[in-house]
Structures are given as structure tokens and as C-alpha cells.
């Protein structure tokens, strides 16, 4: 009973994270009128770091050099490289391409979990069937009648971003085994992520106009990204990884396009077509298939 309760907390944490992450495109869209992508990225994680510092002012002590390297690698992958690669990919290829390719992250997570965590749970027929169904649904949602246009450089960068996020999931699973306070570990990851981000600021001509935050729309949206999508969501995501594992948590990534569609219809009043409807159903079906345990797909023997 206790195990089921704990698992429920993990699923709810992952679902909350994905619901918030699926709506961040609205805030980002508003902020892009006043800031560069890298400026938005830097501000949101600085805010997230400060929020976690206020939430738990204690220091994370007693970490060995190898553990500190794991934190640094997690910050480099999940905070710095993932978002930079995604943003750069968007400048070279269509947003629909990036949306589909990023959703390959659970596939990479399964492979890496098998290689580095020695877990075979994800290597089952139901996962790969669910992956195929979900990708078909995400493809329908993302392209929605538009033609597929490949751009090798942009698409490769998006694929690299998906791989980097899978690395982050494996690293956070490793960090969860240290038995430390999850707010403190997330804050340490943010610290390294921001540190690695600083050199990129010079490459992208970082010259933010702070006065733009006098605009309530800019201020509220950066607060949402910093406090909600960064501080809260990375804690809940890391909590989900700790409880459910890297593979099961990563499957929730399939939900991001679905949340985006729902938000677009409800808030931006964008049309809801038969393709987005079919894609949404396929994506949800793929998620459920991927979550199935092996026993659910095996025929029951007589007498049992």
C-alpha cells in the first residue's frame, strides 16, 4: 500500500511538471518580444536558483569529488546544453521538427538506463510499441497538415538535445541515490548549469534591457518561468525520477505536445483540427502502452 502511495506521488509530480512545461511556450513567446532566448534562459534559472535558496537556505555538505562531478554534469546537460541546443535548433529548422525530435528523449533514456544503470525494465515490447504510437501522434500534432521539411543541421541539434536530456535523467537518478534533500541537490545542479551558461552569454551577445521588466507582462512571465517552470518543476521532475526511475518519468515527455495543444485552444483560441485530435489520442495511447508492465501484455494461463 505504501509503495502504491509513493508511486502515485511520483506520477503526480511528473504530471504537474509536464502540465507546467507544456504551457511555457506562451510565456516564452511574450518574452521573446523583448529578450533574446539566451537572456530569458539566464534570468529564469537565476530566479529559480534564488527561489530554491530561499526555500532551503542550508548548504549541501559532504559531497565527494566524484559526486560533485555528477552534479556538474547534470547542470551542464539539463540546464545549459539542453536549452541552448533546443534554441539554436529552432533557428535552423521548423518548430514542428524540433517538437517531434525532442520527444525521442524517452527512447534514449531507455537505452542509457540499460547501459549505465543496468536496468532492463524499459527494454520490453510495450515500451517500443508505445513509443511508436506516441511518435505517430506527436507527428500529427506537430505538423498538422504542413509538409515535412528536413534541415540536417537543425534536426541534428534537436536530436542532440533529446540525447542530452536523457543524460540529465540518468544523472539525476544517480544523484537521487545520494540520499540528500532534493531542493539542495536541484539547487546545486542549477548552480553548475548557470556557471556553464556564462561563456555562452558572450557568444550570443548578452545585453539584456532590464527596464523591460517594468512591463507587468514581462515581469509576470519571467516569474512564471523562473519560479514555476524552473524552481518548482525541476524539483518535482527530480522527485519523480527518484521515485519512478528515469525511464518511467521520461515517458511523460510525450504529454508536452498534448498540453501545448490544449493550452493553444483554450488560451490562444487556436483551431482544434481532426489531426490534432487524432494525434492527441494516439499520444495518450502511446503513453499508456509505454507504462504497461510486461505481465499486462501476456495472455493469462488457464486456471490462474
Q: Where are the domains positioned within the chain?
A: 2-119+149-255
pLDDT at position 5 = 74
Judge whether residue 304 has pLDDT over 50: no
Give the model's confidence band at 230: pLDDT under 50 very low, under 70 low, under 90 confident, else very high.
very high
Across the range 104-113, mean pLDDT stands at 87
CB atoms within 10 A of CB 288: 15
Residues 6+ apart with CB under 8 A from 245: 113, 119, 121, 173
Least-confidence region, from 82-86, 112-116, 155-159, 182-186:
112-116
Judge whether residue 112 has pLDDT over 90: no
Orientation angle between helical segments 182-203 and 152-176, nearest 10 degrees: 150
Coil, helix or strand for 144?
coil
- Could you give the CA distance from residue 273 to residue 278 in angstroms, rounded to a whole number? 9
Q: Write the DSSP assignment of 166-233 as a string of letters.
A: HHHHHHHHHHHTT---HHHHHHHHHHHHHHHHHHHHHHTT----GGGGGSHHHHHHHHIIIIIIIIIH
C-alpha grid cell for residue 54? 530561499
Q: Look at the block and give the residue holding cell 541552448.
A: 84
Across the range 187-196, mean pLDDT stands at 97
- Could you give the CA distance from residue 261 to residue 98 in angstroms, rounded to a whole number? 15
* pLDDT top residue among 47 and 210: 47
Between the alpha carbon of residue 164 and those of residues 61, 142, 216, 304, the distances in Å are: 27, 21, 34, 44
Judge whether residue 13 has pLDDT over 90: yes
Give the model's confidence band at 302: pLDDT under 50 very low, under 70 low, under 90 confident, else very high.
very low
pLDDT at position 183 = 96
* pLDDT (tens digit per residue) in 212-222: 999 999 999 99
* pLDDT top residue among 297 and 105: 105
Across the range 7-21, mean pLDDT stands at 93
Most confident of 88-92, 95-99, 135-139, 236-240: 236-240
Give the model's confidence band at 301: pLDDT under 50 very low, under 70 low, under 90 confident, else very high.
very low
pLDDT at position 293 = 62
Compute the radius of gyration of the chain from its Cα atoms.
Answer: 19
Judge whether residue 11 has pLDDT over 80: yes
Between the alpha carbon of residue 182 and those of residues 27, 47, 93, 145, 186, the distances in Å are: 26, 18, 36, 43, 6
In the chain, the percentage of residues whose pLDDT exceeds 70 is 89
Q: Look at the block and give the residue holding cell 520527444.
A: 103
Least-confidence region, from 71-75, 161-165, 299-303:
299-303
Q: For CA atoms 211, 216, 221, 224, give the dihedral sign.
A: positive
Q: Look at the block and give the residue holding cell 517500443.
A: 128
C-alpha grid cell for residue 58? 542550508
Least-confidence region, from 30-39, 144-153, 156-165, 267-276:
144-153
Give the model's confidence band at 191: pLDDT under 50 very low, under 70 low, under 90 confident, else very high.
very high
140 φ/ψ angles, rounded to the nearest 5 degrees: -65, -40
- Could you give the CA distance from residue 159 to residue 100 in angstroms, rounded to a whole number? 10
pLDDT at position 150 = 65
pLDDT at position 300 = 41
Are 290 and 134 in contact, with CB atoms under 8 Å apart? yes
Average pLDDT of every residue of the chain: 85
Across the range 125-145, mean pLDDT stands at 81
Amino acid at each position: 500500500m505504501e509503495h502504491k502511495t509513493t508511486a502515485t506521488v511520483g506520477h503526480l509530480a511528473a504530471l504537474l511538471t509536464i502540465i507546467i512545461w507544456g504551457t511555457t511556450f506562451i510565456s516564452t513567446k511574450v518574452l521573446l518580444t523583448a529578450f533574446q532566448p539566451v537572456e530569458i534562459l539566464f534570468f529564469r534559472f537565476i530566479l529559480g536558483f534564488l527561489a530554491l535558496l530561499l526555500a532551503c537556505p542550508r548548504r549541501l555538505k559532504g559531497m565527494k569529488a566524484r559526486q560533485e562531478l555528477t552534479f556538474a554534469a547534470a547542470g551542464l546537460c539539463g540546464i545549459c546544453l539542453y536549452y541552448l541546443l533546443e534554441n539554436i535548433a529552432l533557428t535552423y529548422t521548423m518548430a514542428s521538427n524540433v517538437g517531434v525530435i525532442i520527444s525521442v528523449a524517452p527512447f534514449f533514456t531507455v537505452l542509457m538506463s540499460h547501459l549505465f544503470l543496468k536496468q532492463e525494465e524499459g527494454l520490453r515490447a510495450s515500451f517500443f510499441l508505445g513509443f511508436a504510437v506516441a511518435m505517430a501522434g506527436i507527428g500529427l500534432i506537430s505538423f498538422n497538415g504542413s509538409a515535412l521539411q528536413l534541415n540536417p543541421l537543425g534536426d541534428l541539434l534537436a536530436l542532440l538535445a533529446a540525447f542530452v536530456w536523457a543524460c540529465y535523467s540518468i544523472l539525476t537518478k544517480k544523484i537521487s541515490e545520494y540520499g540528500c534533500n532534493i531542493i539542495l541537490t536541484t539547487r546545486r545542479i542549477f548552480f553548475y548549469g548557470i556557471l556553464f551558461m556564462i561563456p555562452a552569454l558572450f557568444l550570443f551577445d548578452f545585453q539584456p534591457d532590464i527596464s523591460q521588466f517594468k512591463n507587468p507582462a514581462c515581469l509576470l512571465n519571467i516569474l512564471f518561468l523562473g519560479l514555476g517552470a524552473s524552481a518548482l518543476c525541476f524539483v518535482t521532475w527530480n522527485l519523480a525520477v527518484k521515485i519512478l526511475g528515469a525511464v518511467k518519468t521520461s515517458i511523460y515527455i510525450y504529454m508536452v505536445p498534448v498540453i501545448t495543444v490544449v493550452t493553444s485552444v483554450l488560451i490562444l483560441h487556436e483551431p482544434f483540427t481532426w489531426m490534432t485530435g487524432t494525434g492527441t489520442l494516439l499520444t495518450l495511447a502511446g503513453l499508456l502502452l509505454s507504462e504497461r508492465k510486461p505481465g499486462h501484455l501476456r495472455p493469462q494461463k488457464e486456471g490462474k
